[in-house]
Chain A
Amino acid sequence: KAGVTQTPRYLIKTRGQQVTLSCSPISGHRSVSWYQQTPGQGLQFLFEYFSETQRNKGNFPGRFSGRQFSNSRSEMNVSTLELGDSALYLCASSLVTGGLSDTQYFGPGTRLTVL
């Protein structure tokens, strides 16, 4: 079974621009979560989508948004980019069997650099 895929793998943008990142979950997985990884703040939860609905949200400004499509694929958008948005953005999918024991499986990430 193919793993979680993320596109693109690398992005370079300038301040003020916006960016859209894409995530395809493992086949059959219905939950997609997004995380930001930086050297200073570590791994931080952005949001989670399940059945096209945002189910949980972290402490990020409104510039960070996402959505999920009917095929469970998810996109994340960052508007008005700032230098501090430079990070590795990780997507994770899980099966959702109904409990908190579900394992999240991560993609390779998208490395975003803001100049």
Chain B
Amino acid sequence: AQSVAQPEDQVNVAEGNPLTVKCTYSVSGNPYLFWYVQYPNRGLQFLLKYITGDNLVKGSYGFEAEFNKSQTSFHLKKPSALVSDSALYFCAVRDEAAGNKLTFGGGTRVLVKP
């Protein structure tokens, strides 16, 4: 069965500093990995995805993620965080065995302080 772990419930970072949100996964086949962000009282907003190819994936709003197969990780990064990046971030995985179903991590709350 596929699973996702986000080891940090909350990440605090100062505005302008680099932001990293960690994600590790477990799947039986090739992973398809996604990052979403959720603002209060809103649905999930797609940021980026890894399917195959280059291990560094660039997404929306200056976010990028690095796929590491040996460490089964897919950490989300942003070189310079903004106060407006404060939100709840979810990592998700999909593989052939589970079909179109997305399995989500527990979420990481990011707080960017001015």
Contact = CB atoms under 8 A, between A and B. Distances in A.
Contacts, number: 63
Q: How large is the interface on A (under 10, 10 to 19, 20 to 34, 35 or more residues)?
A: 20 to 34
A48 B46 contact: no
Q: Is the interface of A mostly helix, strand, loop or mixed?
A: strand
Interface string A1-45: 000101000000000000000000000000101010000001101
Contact of A107 (B32, B36, B43): B43
Contacts of A31: 100
Contact of B101 (A33, A42, A106): A33
Interface in A80-115: 90, 92, 94, 100-109
B104 interface: yes
A4 B45 CA distance: 11
Contact of B100 (A42, A56, A109): A56
Interface of A: 4, 6, 31, 33, 35, 42-43, 45, 48, 50, 55-56, 58, 90, 92, 94, 100-109
Interface of B: 32, 34, 36, 41-46, 49, 51, 90, 94-96, 98-107
